[in-house]
Structure 1
Amino acid sequence: MLDANLKTQLKGYLERLTLPVELVASLDDGPKSVELKELLQEIASLSDKVTFAEADEDMRKPSFAIVRPGTDISVRFAGIPMGHEFTSLVLALLQVGGHPSKEAQDTIERVKNLDGDYTFETYFSLSCQNCPDVVQALNLMSVLNPRIRHTAIDGALFQDEVEKRGVMAVPSIFLNSLPFGQGRMSLEQILAKLDTGATERAAEEIAAKKPYDVLVVGGGPAGAAAAIYAARKGIRTGIAAERFGGQVLDTMGIENFISVSHTEGPKMAAELAAHVKDYEVDVMDLQTATKLVPATQPGGLATVELQNGATLKAKTIVLSPGARWRQMNVPGEAEYRNKGVAYCPHCDGPLFKGKRVAVIGGGNSGVEAAIDLAGLVSHVTLIEFDSQLRADAVLQAKLRSLPNATVIVSAQTTEVHGDGAKVTGLAYKDRTTGEPKTIELEGIFVQIGLVPNTEWLKGVIELSPRGEIEIDARGQTSVPGIFAAGDATTVPYKQIVIAMGEGAKAALSAFDHLIRSAPAQPEASASEGLKAA
């Protein structure tokens, strides 16, 4: 199953094993079991520390465990972890085989010290770019703490189980057979849900921090660029982010970032985080800003209040809160979110194999989603509010050529129908005739653009009618010393490359504001401030 190049790379990784590893497979006579057996035997052939065996020890077939012989340490996959999950497989092999994790030591100790027995199950799809973070985090936890068990399950391969448990979005996490979480979650986020005192401890640590010269709020491309440019000036820089990486984490393929012909969102997000950490930036992840209090006098300190109750103070602030998927705001949408209403066709599409679905939105994202889904589902209906699609002509032509795709324009979605457990249909109004209509289906993928994360800024700084932060050519907002960058601002064209440039510009403007509005600081003081935690 592995080509020569992949085998060579994997062999190099397996040389890092310090402990023996056994691959124990539970198989049946099906073709997927044949594929899995071939994959595991190929892996075992690449290292004398890896062995393969069969044992009928799991009800899910095909599945396999990566075991450290003579211990209780193991990681289990139900399915064939290729695609986005191949990296999860490699990491699990290394970690079970004794290769140390790169996670912070305090995080590792928190996992080891968890008191309790935890059995996790994660449903993923091979095309989901959000799933590996969850799978890898829980796999690592099961290696670090033998009282934690984790099985990663390919939902597309175990459809009956998915139907029984009502899984209609991935990643979906169950703990001790009960729903635990959905969507991308980092190791820190999972720990925060298990370790109930973590939030309070984090709030205490944050509250004790000294004021920053520049505080960046938001960890997407704009926020990362702002933090790097500020830190390079040798000034005290902090960055508070709800999730480092922002929308980039949800982006499948990136092919228009100049000088990089192709990359994927999670990879770029990891590279952004690594670059920021090259500098003395105080990174505070998993922190949601809830209130901005500007300085009361020139040269004073502005304050950002966080959801956990802590506050941060700074001489200047760069706002880069980003945006999120826009919702339809019709009856039934909230009730059936993750029960048939979805926002990521790449992630959740495989769960709707052979079913009827709709895509809402006729821009490039909507049409691309409909094209991709047409290869999985029995039928896809694209619904557009306007009288014509807005996507590129080549995409429209491709969609209209598909035999299992229908395009409906001049249609206003009015309601999501369901049976209490899952979506059963969609109601819309023909905007030309006014006639109400209904489509029977099982899934609805919403692709109607983005809305800025600026509700917490209303009444403090000027926002556009669309909720975007009003800025000038230098990134200055309506409040002196408060700057902004990225998709949450009025800058046109929401693109990664533009957000990065705007973030750099906002940081440079903040630095210029500092040197023009405050007396020069002694060199020793500046150095001391830079080193402060």
Structure 2
Amino acid sequence: MLDAGIKEQLKAYMDKLQQPIELVAAYDDSDKSQELRQLLEELEPMSDKISLRTEESNDVRRPSFAINRIGTDIGVRFAGIPMGHEFTSLVLALLQVGGHPSKAAQEVIEQVQELDGSFEFETYFSLSCQNCPDVVQALNLMSVLNPNIKHTSIDGALFQDEVEQREVMAVPSVYLNGEAWGQGRMTLEEIVARLDTKSDEKEAEKINQKDTFEVLVIGGGPAGASAAIYASRKGISTGIAAERFGGQVADTMGIENLISVPYTEGPKLVGAMEQHVKEYDVDIMNMQRAEKLIPAAKPGLAHEVRLANGGSLKARTLVLSTGARWRQLGVPGEDEYRNKGVAYCPHCDGPLFKGKRVAVIGGGNSGVEAAIDLAGIVGH
């Protein structure tokens, strides 16, 4: 199942386990179950802190497996085989359930630990989806940090009947306590903010206490990041307010037109971009949607930007780098059926349309590539 090189790397990672963990597998008679069995049997001997047993209960999806911290209620479950883009999710789940600390900000970790209530999450993913791992990894980490949170990741292509019953037509799709809760790429911070009912109020209070910036950049895509770096290098007090740092680049599968970089992927580029900005004295205010601009009453005074959470930022100079969105057709039903049959990523959502008739709108290179990709999956 795993080649020799991957096994060596995994074994090195498994040396970081601090707590004993148990892999609890649920099999059926399918070929996929045999693949899962092979994967888990290859993982078990990589550390003396890993054990493997078979699930006896019939109340779980098959094939699936849980990763549990022995003697505790801490654990995560994968329904399917987390390979492809989800292989990193598997490695992180093993490490985090095994007690290896997360790199998430301490403030966010404490916010997760303080969440009150019972949260049973289910996330539908596809192995070709580059946005799904962000959601899967965030919810897995939350289930490790807070015993009141449970999470199961489900390969939609493998559980097609379930996908059709719930009318899942886009990934990642997240269900909370049995009800549809969210779709699309979400960061740990975004998920926690939705669950913490007082997060907007807290964030607005922090925002309102900030001093006036000399330069405030609205938007966190490549243009906004570049503007912030240039301003900060000149010794100018600089801030970035972005609805989502990285913007649409974070949703891009492959990038081949960045000079000197033959190929990279959106999430990887966004991570490097954020790290670059953080090397300078730039105040990055993520998940901040600007709603209103109030220009300065006269030269020399500050402009004001009002945010959706009720906070307000002031700056002597504003740089508007609000970026791009998926192109819309503007036809009836498009908004209502977004992520319910209207999709924008053949890689992510294609497996959910297996055997169905699909139309690709657009005849440029993206449209042709989408049609080629889908031809091996869909009915027509």
TM-score using structure 2 length: 0.97
Distance 1:56 1:155 in 2: 24
Residue 324 of structure 1 and its aligned partner are, at CA, apart by 0.4
Q: Which residue in 2 is equivalent to 1:30?
A: 30
Helix, strand or coil at the partner of 1:102: coil
Distance 2:271 2:66 in 1: 28
Residue 20 of structure 1 and its aligned partner are, at CA, apart by 1.2
Residue 41 of structure 1 and its aligned partner are, at CA, apart by 1.3
Q: Which residue in 2 is equivalent to 1:473?
A: none
Helix, strand or coil at the partner of 2:349: helix
Q: Which amino acid is 2:81 matched to? A: I
Residue 229 of structure 1 and its aligned partner are, at CA, apart by 1.9
Q: Which residue in 2 is equivalent to 1:2?
A: 2
Distance 1:369 1:101 in 2: 36
The number of equivalent residue pairs is 379
Q: Which residue in 2 is equivalent to 1:153?
A: 154
Q: Which residue in 2 is equivalent to 1:252?
A: 253
1:347 paired with 2:313, answer: no
Residue 59 of structure 1 and its aligned partner are, at CA, apart by 2.6
Structure 1, unmatched stretches of 5+, are 380-533
Residue 174 of structure 1 and its aligned partner are, at CA, apart by 0.5
Helix, strand or coil at the partner of 1:360: coil
Distance 1:105 1:134 in 2: 19
Q: Which residue in 2 is equivalent to 1:195?
A: 196
Distance 1:188 1:262 in 2: 28
Distance 1:41 1:323 in 2: 46
Q: Can you list the C-alpha shifts for 1:39-93, whole angstroms capped at 9, x where unaligned?
A: 1111122222212221133431110001100000001000001111111111111
Q: Can you list the C-alpha shifts for 1:456-478, whole angstroms capped at 9, x where unaligned?
A: xxxxxxxxxxxxxxxxxxxxxxx
1:228 paired with 2:229, answer: yes
What are the within-5 Å matches in structure 2 for residues 435-446 of structure 1? Answer: none
Residue 293 of structure 1 and its aligned partner are, at CA, apart by 2.2
Q: Which residue in 2 is equivalent to 1:20?
A: 20
* Comparing 251-260 and 284-293, the one that deviates more: 251-260
CA RMSD for the aligned pairs? Answer: 1.2
Q: Which amino acid is 1:274 matched to? A: Q
Helix, strand or coil at the partner of 1:5: helix
Helix, strand or coil at the partner of 2:325: strand
Helix, strand or coil at the partner of 2:358: strand
Q: Which residue in 1 is equivalent to 2:329?
A: 328
Q: Which amino acid is 1:5 matched to? A: G
Distance 2:91 2:226 in 1: 31
Q: Can you list the C-alpha shifts for 1:100-154, whole angstroms capped at 9, x where unaligned?
A: 0111111111111111111000001111111111101100000000111000000
Q: Which residue in 2 is equivalent to 1:94?
A: 95
What are the within-5 Å matches in structure 2 for residues 43-442 of structure 1? Answer: 43-57=43-57, 58-379=59-380
Q: Which amino acid is 1:277 matched to? A: K
Q: In 2, are the aligned partners of 1:123 and 1:170 still within 8 Å (CA)?
A: yes
Distance 2:65 2:243 in 1: 35
Distance 1:43 1:254 in 2: 33
Q: In 2, are the aligned partners of 1:127 and 1:346 still within 8 Å (CA)?
A: yes
Q: Can you list the C-alpha shifts for 1:256-296, whole angstroms capped at 9, x where unaligned?
A: 22222222111111111122122221111011111222223
Residue 199 of structure 1 and its aligned partner are, at CA, apart by 0.5
Q: Which amino acid is 1:73 matched to? A: I
Helix, strand or coil at the partner of 2:360: strand
Q: Which residue in 2 is equivalent to 1:501?
A: none
Q: Which amino acid is 1:350 matched to? A: P
Q: Which amino acid is 2:212 matched to? A: P
Is the alpha carbon distance of 1:56 and 1:255 closer, same or farther for their aligned partners in structure 2, counting shifts above 3 Å?
A: farther
* Comparing 51-60 and 193-202, the one that deviates more: 51-60
Distance 1:214 1:41 in 2: 56
Helix, strand or coil at the partner of 1:341: coil
Residue 233 of structure 1 and its aligned partner are, at CA, apart by 1.9
Q: In 2, are the aligned partners of 1:27 and 1:56 still within 8 Å (CA)?
A: no
Distance 1:147 1:291 in 2: 38
Helix, strand or coil at the partner of 1:66: strand
Q: Which amino acid is 1:285 matched to? A: N
Q: Which amino acid is 2:263 matched to? A: H
Q: In 2, are the aligned partners of 1:125 and 1:156 still within 8 Å (CA)?
A: yes
Distance 2:256 2:330 in 1: 32
Q: In 2, are the aligned partners of 1:118 and 1:147 still within 8 Å (CA)?
A: yes
Q: In 2, are the aligned partners of 1:251 and 1:265 still within 8 Å (CA)?
A: yes
Helix, strand or coil at the partner of 1:331: coil
Q: Which amino acid is 1:218 matched to? A: G
Helix, strand or coil at the partner of 2:359: strand
Helix, strand or coil at the partner of 2:317: strand
Distance 2:239 2:75 in 1: 38
Q: In 2, are the aligned partners of 1:217 and 1:320 still within 8 Å (CA)?
A: yes
Q: In 2, are the aligned partners of 1:228 and 1:276 still within 8 Å (CA)?
A: yes
Q: Which amino acid is 2:353 matched to? A: F
Helix, strand or coil at the partner of 1:34: helix
Q: Which amino acid is 1:56 matched to? A: E
Q: Rg larger in 1 or in 2?
A: 1
Distance 1:228 1:46 in 2: 44
Q: Which amino acid is 1:214 matched to? A: V
Q: Which residue in 2 is equivalent to 1:455?
A: none
Distance 2:260 2:68 in 1: 42
Helix, strand or coil at the partner of 2:329: coil
Distance 1:330 1:130 in 2: 26
Q: Which amino acid is 2:7 matched to? A: K
Distance 1:136 1:221 in 2: 25
Helix, strand or coil at the partner of 1:290: strand
Q: Which residue in 2 is equivalent to 1:402?
A: none
Distance 1:314 1:48 in 2: 56
Q: Which amino acid is 2:73 matched to? A: D
